[in-house]
Structure 1
Amino acid sequence: MLDRRLFLHLATWLGQWPAGPGLHVVRSYRRARPAWDGRLRPAVAVRAPGCTVLSVPPDRVDAVRALVRGRSVAELLPRLPAAVGVPEFITHAGVFRWCTAPEPLPDVGDWIPPTSCGLPAWLRLFDREVLVVRDAGGRYLAGAGIKRHDAFGHELAVGTVPAARGRGLARRLVAQAARRVLDDGAVPTYLHSVDNHASARVAEAAGFPDQGWSSVRVVPR
């Protein structure tokens, strides 16, 4: 049975969940409003085995439905940004994972404000505390942030500087951040490109199995 938090997240984030077999284009006001980082995500799709829901702005539903007819997903993806009114954006496809029981890895990071000194630019996009590992000299090694899409689903992002890779920091950060999300009453999600094998290994080690789900998003370059 699908976790209730995940069900509520998908229904809220996409505008509808579940749907019948095949690809379903649905409308959501969220696609016309800034996302967690203040930038638009005018198309978001989640594919589960046998079902795909593609969420677009209300005024773009007809155009996207017309685009979908008679086209495979491979043909659809490069045309999707223009169909939702942002031809300068790109389409990103990846594996969609979630977790309700993170691996019991020991905590490794500290929660600090995203405005703290020495953090990379991507962590400064977050509006709440981020999870960070520093070395003995205070230099940044790895970090994780939480993208709070809605009250029910929070997506994790993680990054490690090249010199600190291979130490298991990322998997421990993801498990630690997942525990916080669950404590807050939401379900943690994790997305990565299909060919990002390192990120896939981090997800698996932290307790985010690949259950055959995927996601597509139209995002700024």
Structure 2
Amino acid sequence: MYDRRLYLHLATWLGQWPAGPGLHVVGSVRRTTPGWDGQVYAMVGVGGGGSTVISIPPDRAVAARMAAAGSLGRLLARLPAVLHRPDSRTYRAVFRTTRSPARLPPAGEWVPAGDPVVPDWLRPFGGEVLLARDVDGGYLAGVGIKRHDRHGHELAVGTEPAARGRGLARRLVAQAARRVLDEGAIPTYLHAVDNVASARVARAAGFPDRGWSAYGMVDPPQAG
């Protein structure tokens, strides 16, 4: 799965890539500065090709390596405490990428994220988002781009319940992937391990599952 764009993205986003076989805990200042949506992501990781890199703030890297003792499972279990976020939880997702999106017909148009027709969930992506609309201009489905760095852009798709089953999501994802590639970046697509519907969309859009994983951390829901 070696690709120069992917290499540059992972090296930038994580702070190091590749790292040789096995587990590698990397301290990166990227984990202390705002990400694509202005939030700070204290832990991200990617595993593939026999190597797993977990990126955390530099001042916690030594403690994390000691807590992990070479075991990814142990590291994921202990990271919330190591990062002083005991109520948070770590997770694993499927990590996909492509250089050959499916040749599906376009399904949407690019509009500014601040356009009134854009639903609330798409607005934080900023820039332009890709929308499919009905004959009256109403929103049916959309794709936002998480611009992690100039080398790698992650796609996120959502479809209104009444519009599902029409193939809109796969067409929008393929269309957005082509734009990302045209702009010189690599498109990525992440989904939960048990999200069968999202996996189906990814496959149909030309994002194969090569056995790679992504790792992250989420905070507990806020009360009230």
**2: CA distance, partners of 1:121 / 1:79:** 34
1:211 Cα deviation after fit:
0.6
Structure 1: runs of 5+ lacking an equivalent? none
**2: CA distance, partners of 1:77 / 1:20:** 20
Structure 2: runs of 5+ lacking an equivalent? none
Residue equivalent to 2:179: 180
- Do the aligned partners of 1:94 and 1:192 also contact (CA within 8 Å) in 2? yes
How do 1:13-92 residues align onto structure 2 when only pairs under 5 Å count?
13-69=13-69, 71-73=71-73, 75-92=74-91
1:21 Cα deviation after fit:
1.6
TM-score (norm 1): 0.94
**2: CA distance, partners of 1:55 / 1:187:** 20
**2: CA distance, partners of 1:198 / 1:177:** 18
- Do the aligned partners of 1:153 and 1:189 also contact (CA within 8 Å) in 2? yes
**2: CA distance, partners of 1:39 / 1:87:** 19
Residue equivalent to 2:164: 165
- CA displacement 1:16-39 (0-9 Å, x = unmatched): 111122110011110111110111
How do 1:196-207 residues align onto structure 2 when only pairs under 5 Å count?
196-207=195-206
Counterpart residue identity of residue 17, structure 2: W
Residue equivalent to 1:145: 144
- Do the aligned partners of 2:23 and 2:72 also contact (CA within 8 Å) in 1? no
- Do the aligned partners of 2:146 and 2:156 also contact (CA within 8 Å) in 1? yes
Displaced runs of 4 or more, over 6 A: none
Count of matched residue positions in the alignment of Structure 1 and Structure 2: 220
- Do the aligned partners of 1:16 and 1:26 also contact (CA within 8 Å) in 2? yes
**1: CA distance, partners of 2:219 / 2:185:** 26
Aligned Cα RMSD in Å?
1.5
Residue equivalent to 1:97: 96
Is 1:131 paired with 2:136?
A: no
**2: CA distance, partners of 1:47 / 1:72:** 10
- CA displacement 1:48-73 (0-9 Å, x = unmatched): 13211111111110121122116451
Counterpart residue identity of residue 68, structure 1: A
Residue equivalent to 2:4: 4
1:81 Cα deviation after fit:
2.4
Counterpart residue identity of residue 109, structure 1: G
Aligned-pair identity in percent equals 63
- Do the aligned partners of 1:40 and 1:219 also contact (CA within 8 Å) in 2? no
- Do the aligned partners of 2:23 and 2:71 also contact (CA within 8 Å) in 1? no
- Do the aligned partners of 2:64 and 2:75 also contact (CA within 8 Å) in 1? no
Residue equivalent to 1:106: 105
1:88 Cα deviation after fit:
4.0
- CA displacement 1:90-136 (0-9 Å, x = unmatched): 32310000010111101111111111114322201112000011111
- Do the aligned partners of 1:91 and 1:216 also contact (CA within 8 Å) in 2? yes
- Greater displacement, 89-98 / 167-176: 89-98
